[in-house]
Structure 1
């Protein structure tokens, strides 16, 4: 007799179970309910900005809402990251997360305004962004081997530019210094623009920079591209060898850009964004454009991206420690 009331409740309980189980799907269906913003922590024109603006229109088609790109430069991407974390965790405000912000700065800054591992939800790695090693066109070297030999003849006389202390370009130079056994001097700038201007003028000798923002100068003869800092040659520049081919071992300072959300963003929303970004990256016109800029599309799952981030952070942590890099 006592079982009867419980038996009468079973249909309602079953219905409730079905409703609860459908909640993630409902969250994905309800998203997006307004325009989506992708925050870029750097000035317009850089590789992260270029990638975000390339995928945004196609992503908007897939999501059925506008996708706006908003630049929030400063503090190595931390200003944009903090702004994203200050918005509701509903997927409508995303971050173009980068190597410097999530993998390098935790080892350089005394304190971070957020915890990259606890506060950030990885959505998808969008691209790998290998560096190109470029030198001033008047420097008497035409290969990495010649550059290394020249640097050994003139210890402490060759300098290399970067867009700031602790950036991927800076640490790529420190990695070359360590792996090749040469003494070169770092010159930090507050952005790639001024660094490139001084490199062309001969005020500095070399730089590690992404092809999307530097190959135009090499093609114009203002700079000389010696190598790509990647495990393999880039499809867009098949005649340019890798640094490793020149005999520098274990040289892989490949940076990346990805899409991140705030923690507590519904998993179904994260998965929806990842699927739509992956579809965009698979479009021939998008993948060809990225390849032409020396970028490699990825489109990984949130789980794959999280595992990648853990390994990437360890890699850059070793470089920071070996070079004893400190924040300025």
Structure 2
């Protein structure tokens, strides 16, 4: 047997090897998105955490999908304007909306005509992040444990005044969940945003506040307020010293999220491609690092997991929202 192959045989062998590898290479290559560029619509102004996470994802999706992926900000109506516009997108247009529970769960329940139906007009694609709520006390209440607050409110129910960034917001309805868990009837006091809420908590004019963890955390770190508990299943990675409500003895487990939705006219195969691509992007360690700096917990999920998450979420929140009787 010769110690080497002829040039012709070597070329033929190489060709057969390449042919054998071709199907594998094609299987490993990312599938290109047909129909042109992809637009990620955010219903809030540039610069916020929702906008920033969308841009981080867009940067990583562009090479993965083989098309330009951009972010378009459509602020207005608390995020509902974006939903109204995306639902009208034609079947051939590549567009997704980065939605949250305020837009996709609460608004259709409390607004007579929100302008869209989350179930009929949209298809869940992929959840990309979650965030916790937090219960905090100011200088007026010298407490360092959630159970101490429970005892105080049982003794002084008139102090059960929960400040929230706005009535009708997720923290508002989470505050009602907290009231149920504590067996107290809280008075919900709405503010014009997280900044004035935190200011009143710091100066002592408000005893208790409920807001997203990322909104209250800077004042907690500065020692101006104390966060007694957070709402997630486990402690937040950026706040490992703050216990969850469950750890504090209260059966509360709730969070918020950011999830991509497609207009219902988008073909199922394209929805699946986008869901899998976004899920893969959300596994990127560099994205995790930036997301956590924004006090956001990144999530990697496919379309089926996202659909199940929404079903469970609605079952938990819809009764609370309806029972509140709130309407703007």
TM-score bracket relative to the smaller structure: 0.7 to 0.9
Q: Deviations over 1:119-155 (max 9, x none)?
A: 0011101112121222224431111112222222332
Q: Take 2:48 and 2:129, find their aligned partners in 1: how far apart are those partners?
A: 14
Q: Shift of residue 168 of structure 1?
A: 1.5
TM-score, L = length of structure 1: 0.81
Q: Shift of residue 175 of structure 1?
A: 0.4
Runs of at least 5 residues in structure 2 that lack an aligned partner in the other structure: 1-30
Q: Deviations over 1:263-295 (max 9, x none)?
A: 111222222221221122101111233345443
Q: Take 2:145 and 2:48, find their aligned partners in 1: how far apart are those partners?
A: 26
Q: Take 2:32 and 2:210, find their aligned partners in 1: how far apart are those partners?
A: 43
**Aligned residue among 66, 80, 83 for 2:82:** 80
Q: Take 1:273 and 1:162, find their aligned partners in 2: how far apart are those partners?
A: 36
Tell me if the contact between 1:165 and 1:327 (Cα under 8 Å) persists in the aligned partners: no
Q: Does 1:217 align with 2:219?
A: yes
Aligned to 1:248: 250
Aligned to 1:311: 312
Runs of at least 5 residues in structure 1 that lack an aligned partner in the other structure: 1-27
SS at match of 2:119: coil
Bigger drift between 216-225 and 194-203 goes to 194-203
Aligned to 1:33: 36
Q: Shift of residue 245 of structure 1?
A: 1.7
Aligned to 1:117: 119
Aligned to 1:288: 289
Taking only aligned residues, the RMSD between alpha carbons, in angstroms, comes to 2.4
Structure of greater Rg = 2
SS at match of 1:313: helix
Q: Take 2:192 and 2:229, find their aligned partners in 1: how far apart are those partners?
A: 24
Aligned to 2:275: 274
* Number of residue pairs matched by the alignment: 298
Q: Deviations over 1:8-27 (max 9, x none)?
A: xxxxxxxxxxxxxxxxxxxx
Q: Take 2:47 and 2:151, find their aligned partners in 1: how far apart are those partners?
A: 34
